Amino acid sequence: MLRVASLCVLLAWLVLGVPVAKEKQKVLLISFDGFRWDYDRDVDTPNLDQMAKDGVKAQYVTPPYLTVTSPTHFTLLTGRYIENHGVIHNMWFNTATSEKKGYYQTQFVNEWWDNGTLPIWITAQRQGLKAGSLHFPGTASSYQGEVAMVREVEPSFYNYSNEAFWYENTDKVMSWFRDQDLDFVSLYFGEPDMTGHKYGPDSPERREMVKQVDRAVGYIRNSAEKHGLTKQLNIIMTADHGMTTIFRGPDVEEIVLSKIPGFSFSDVSFQLLDYGPSGMLLPKPGKLETIYTALKGAHPNLHVYKKEEMPEHLHFSNNDRILPIVLWTDPGFVLNGVRVYLPVQFNKGEHGFDNQEMDMKPFFRAVGPAFHQNLEVGPFETVNIYPLMCHILGIQPEVNDGQLSVTQHMLVTSKQTTQPEVTNLSAASSSQSEISEIPEIP
């Protein structure tokens, strides 16, 4: 009888591709903020390369628009486009009082985040799992009165580039998995975004920061092994957006709204400008057409839309928080409200552009017992990462805009050969090789 049962299990594995022995699966979602899809092309990245051989690498992934930190991270947590989850900007704002809060302060405005869409932490916990988050955008908020059961919010004025902090946070998260038996954790690193902003994506400083990221990748995988998690833990590594170089100099025709004929800020009730390449305007009653007509076509690198006429691929119109006029620029340009003598924006690199621009695309890696080894896949949208994580965890997802079918071919339970846009990486490794240049864990 035992022999018959064993044969049945083996047959199921051969036919369905289901592992014979399946341990409880855990998921670690990691974001390296601003890690553009091609940042590993001009830097030696042995650990990211090894992760691709041991797991899955996507050519690139497409974030939702608006391509800034909080909205795109909340898409990772919910699988919803930004117009659907409602975290439409890094900044909370009040159009009646003209009050605005910066990125860090907005983390603590509960109603900005808790507006009907549940992040994966809450969904997992409601279905009997344990979830945690360290520094991930949205961690500080509660959702329908619930929070991630283990969480840590970054301190104010946090040093995102401190490599020692990265290793401390990594070991902390691994101990959550091992000692508190968490099933899901989201972990956030604020680089290479900060370096890309300050020095530009083509700078030697950015390349050095990518080397630091690569060392961290090796450390993360080594820490997972030392904590005894390799048979259970699936690591999904991606970013919120990419980065592009900003044009400066006397030959650049800057976009300054106050200099555009026919446009006046006296017609504007509220504005969200001088924040990279994107902006929104709330016209005073009866002034929408006046503002729209003045701005539309006023600069060859400025895009102006009434929110209901926004391009469909952006999914950025169907939300009351989105203001009636939405503006964004072509890559290389930033949007200025009033520029008198000195520039308001000093960054050499920026994001926030159309999500179809290649410089806005992030990277993607995944490794662990649920994933194929040595597999490269074609591009996909980041809304599809949420249903993938829910599937691995064995939980029922909330309503979302992603599809499991887009990513399921990455999993060992799928038939790899029947899936589109899949190619094997060269120099395949039959087993998980030694990870390169990993800092030692004390």
Residue 85: φ, ψ to 5°: -95, -15
The CA-atom distances, in angstroms, between 427 and each of 32, 50, 220, 250 are 26, 11, 23, 49
CB atoms within 10 A of CB 147: 16
Question: How far is it, in rounded angstroms, from Cα 56 to Cα 216?
Answer: 18
Q: How much is the pLDDT for 255?
A: 95
Task: List the one residue out of 255, 400, 257, 391 whose CA is nearest residue 315.
Answer: 400
- Provide CATH 3.30.1360.180 ranges for the chain: 255-346
- Provide CATH 3.40.720.10 ranges for the chain: 18-244+357-424
What are the pLDDT digits (tens) for 107-164? 999 999 999 999 999 999 999 999 999 999 999 999 999 999 999 999 999 999 999 9
Q: How much is the pLDDT for 23?
A: 77
Looking at the DSSP assignment, which residues form a beta bridge with residue 303? 328
- Whether 295 and 342 have beta carbons less than 8 Å apart is answered as no
Looking at the DSSP assignment, which residues form a beta bridge with residue 256? 336
Query: End-to-end alpha-carbon separation of the chain, Å?
Result: 50
Question: How far is it, in rounded angstroms, from Cα 405 to Cα 235?
Answer: 20
Residue 410: φ, ψ to 5°: -75, -20
Task: List the one residue out of 260, 261, 84 whose CA is nearest residue 279.
Answer: 260
3-state SS assignment for residue 368: coil
Task: List the one residue out of 9, 26, 27 whose CA is nearest residue 18.
Answer: 9
Which H/E stretch holds residue 11? helix 2-16
122-126: Cβ within 8 A, 24+ apart: 122/146, 122/148, 123/390, 123/395, 123/396, 123/397, 123/398, 124/183, 124/184, 124/393, 124/395, 125/149
- Whether 246 and 37 have beta carbons less than 8 Å apart is answered as no
CB hemisphere CA count around 364 (13 angstroms)? 24
CATH 3.30.1360.180 fits 255-346, yes or no: yes
CB atoms within 10 A of CB 270: 18
Q: How much is the pLDDT for 22?
A: 60
Residues in CB range of 151: below 8 A, 6 or more apart: 132, 133, 134, 139, 140
**What homologous superfamily does CATH list for 18-244+357-424?**
Alkaline Phosphatase, subunit A (3.40.720.10)
Q: pLDDT tens track of the chain, all 442 residues? A: 434 444 443 344 344 444 433 678 999 999 999 999 999 999 999 999 999 999 999 999 999 999 999 999 999 999 999 999 999 999 999 999 999 999 999 999 999 999 999 999 999 999 999 999 999 999 999 999 999 999 999 999 999 999 999 999 999 999 999 999 999 999 999 999 999 999 999 999 999 999 999 999 999 999 999 999 999 999 999 999 999 999 998 899 999 999 999 999 999 999 999 999 999 999 999 999 999 999 999 999 999 999 999 999 999 999 999 999 999 999 999 999 987 656 778 999 999 999 999 999 999 999 999 999 999 999 999 999 999 999 999 999 999 999 999 999 999 987 543 333 333 333 333 333 334 444 444 4
- Give catalytic residues, as residue numbers: 69
Q: How much is the pLDDT for 378?
A: 98
Task: List the one residue out of 365, 352, 349 whose CA is nearest residue 40.
Answer: 365
Question: How far is it, in rounded angstroms, from Cα 35 to Cα 351?
Answer: 11
Question: How far is it, in rounded angstroms, from Cα 187 to Cα 152?
Answer: 10
